[in-house]
Amino acid sequence: MSIHAFRMQLKPCVVDEYRKRHDEIWPELSALLTESGIHDYSIFLDETTLALFAVLHLAEPNTRDALPDHPVMKRWWDHMAPLMEVEDNNRPKEWSLPLIFHHD
């Protein structure tokens, strides 16, 4: 099991909608994440900067790298693109965060 952390960026005035869409996450997306080896996935919000900080645990082996090609993932990115900074294909811009400290 490995831990992956990254930052994403919300656009102004969309926090409530972003939260609502995740509260109503599609069952097929939730299943896809689990099947891909993603567990214990949390997203935190810095309300001052609207930065999102995500932390997830990855089973070994996992298929996380194949997610960008999956139709459900692409559809979710299209659904979320109006709320976030995204790449040309609507994939959320993502900045990896290196692990500095961990305590069990």
Q: For residues 46 and 38, what is the distance between their CA atoms, to the nearest angstrom? A: 23
Give me 33's structure tokens: 């994440």
Phi first, then psi: give them for residue 34, nearest 5 degrees: -65, -45
Give the active site residue among 4, 22, 57, 102. 22
> Within a 10 A sphere around the Cβ of 95, how many other Cβ atoms?
11
> Within a 10 A sphere around the Cβ of 61, how many other Cβ atoms?
7
Told to judge if 79 belongs to the known catalytic residues of this protein, a careful annotator would answer: no
Give catalytic residue positions.
Answer: 22
